[in-house]
Structure 1
Amino acid sequence: MLRLLTLPPLVLAPALILCACMAYPLNPHHIYAFVNPQKKQPSKTPDEMTEVEKKAFVEKLLIEKGLLDPRGWNFPKTAFDYAKLVEPHLGVPPKIDLGEAVEIPLYVDGVRTYGNLAQRCDNRSMLGKETVSGSTLQRYEGRAADGTPLPDVVWVSFGRNSTRDPAKPFGSVQMIGYNRKTGATAFFESSDQIHPWVKLDQKTLRMRGKMPWIDNPEEFNKAFLVPEPTRPQCVQCHQADPFITNSFINAAKIPGTNENVVPILDRHSPYFVIGGDNWDMRTIHIEGNKCFDCHRVGMSTMAMFMENGWNPNQHMPPRNPGTLAKDLDQLLNAWRNGPASVPGGKWMLPPTGGKPAQVAGDDYPNKAHFNKPSLKAK
């Protein structure tokens, strides 16, 4: 029988901090109480703190709890500056028009359905949130600033709808750029407060609207955020490769085809994050384990899906689900007890820019909490 996993507090903490820091005003009292509930509250109230003081206070707490890398990250301060940094690798980001994107269809008992379906639909998002219709995906070919096509580069935009009240759009708009040849990757994401740019169809809740582009740096910086040390590493979820896929994401097809909007990569696909030099890029690998025949496995991502009801034996391998149950059990044991606990198990770093995949030893300097095998069977 499949043994499910339980997320430890250190995996859940960054998600809560993300909500506190990204979607809502930064409140150091709330974060302080969460990460260190036994100690005194700071002497200043949030209203008395400047934004710089709030950020410094939160960063200090997260470093003390081992949730933040004290070396810092190598990302610019604004989305526009990040776009300039990634341009040599990925060209310019796409112009996002949600009205031209592909809506992700939701189904209940095989019937296309609209609205806030919570956990009732056949193809839930598996992110622990209510699944709402109207989310969109779009794929774009990479282009240089002068319009020259970049065939090795692909961008994907994701309009994630989490709205309850159609009059108050809530969710985010994300875009990921990826160079298939080198593995160079960039992550951009809006805050959850998308109402200045996004509207919803009344009945279906489909997202519509145009996001600011780099020709208006001020608005682009208002719309999009860059990774910051007080937020989780993007690779905590985008772990095996840049693009997360599941039955929710894969329901969106390129019009007129049966091809997924989001590209499917394989275990040989290169991968590194521009600016994420200090990020933990490790994934578990087990020699001879058939779970790795086609792709890498991001255990942090997989654990999140399983916590939300996804049973790998009911879906994998795609053409014959359940036939790799023994391989899965070995993989879960490696995650609980560490890769060295199973024969042939090890931490691996993905190939990058022509360099092959490499083993990450005990001295790997970028170890992060989300890759600490500490999940318990239940």
Structure 2
Amino acid sequence: MNNPLKGIRVIDASSMVAGPMSTQILADQGAEVIKIEPPVGGDLCRFIGAMQGGVSHYFCVYNRNKHSLTLDLKQSRGREILQQLLGRADVFVHNFRPEAAKRLGLDLNTLHHDFPQMVCAAISGFGTDGPYAGRRVYDPLVQGVSGIAVSQGCADDPQLIRQLICDKVSGLYMAQAISTALFTRERCGEGQVLDMSLLDASLGFSFPEVMGDQVFITASDPAPDMSIVYKPWATADGNLAVVLLSTAEFSGWCSALECEALINDPRFADTPARLSNWQLLRDECAARVESYTTADILDRLLAQDVPAAPVNTAAQVLEDSQIHNNNNIQTVNHIDAGTVRHAKTPVCFNRCPSPQIRPAPLLGEHSEMLLSQLGYSDEDISQLFTSGVSSGNHNELQ
């Protein structure tokens, strides 16, 4: 059986992380994804992150398994070519700001009118209308507005998650929504528009943790500070992640650390009491944990069926036995960057082959091929390159 989305064509005019991550997921599942980039420079993400051979690690990860076609959408010929592509597409994704989308004729209402069978997906920063709608937006701004930054620290000392969490969860939501819209199209024969902002996705994803004390309209008992509860424990040679929510887990913890007297301590008598007094528990147990190596304390805890795992550095991730067992890290050769590591596609379909990872494309790597498929002659393509409407790459692969 073919990959699940084989035969689905996606035109991806998005940049940076959220949109490209959504289409990378679709590409991993077999969709043909054509990435549209400006002829000069391309996606800004090409220049952000760890660099090797002029290639960014962010771009490598979020744009694997795609083709690159450069188009200057400020020129009418560039927009005409895009319209040709959309006439043959199943999905179109962009993250233009609302006013820019209207100027380009790529707002959702226009797209749905012109291409009623296509799934049209737009990702904005804060929304398509409202007081913040026209602003330039990046992930840290959304972490601020959504309350995530304060929840990671406090009102006096907000902290950003050291991940592009708002971008990435938006990519996940949008990939799922596109798949659902394609399924709906199979049933009713019509496409639809998908409108999502990073703010919408981030609030939806983080709401229980960020807004826990605001869920109930009337006053409620405050939620415990789970950052203390889940904080890793220092060992003699590293750190350990442990979760002790149930009484059985806490009893196992006490047995492993040979501090059984704590089991009957009223401060830790049940889950609410332990959560309220967690710092006291840490004070009681920290020195005991630190007297063991990570491997030794892990063995003791697992023998008591206590949920525990090592806290790996990036280098240790590459050596972890479970990660090796799962074949989580795969490699692919990139013409400029050399050997590049990727995380495997996380979901396995039992009736489909394991997807093969192709490297992220060079800027304009497939322009010639894709323009030719649209019916442009070699002379036409040469003129498009000369006029700056498009561009190719000397390493173009047919």
TM-score for the superposition, normalised by structure 1 = 0.22
TM-score for the superposition, normalised by structure 2 = 0.21
Q: In proportion to residue count, which structure has more helix?
A: 2
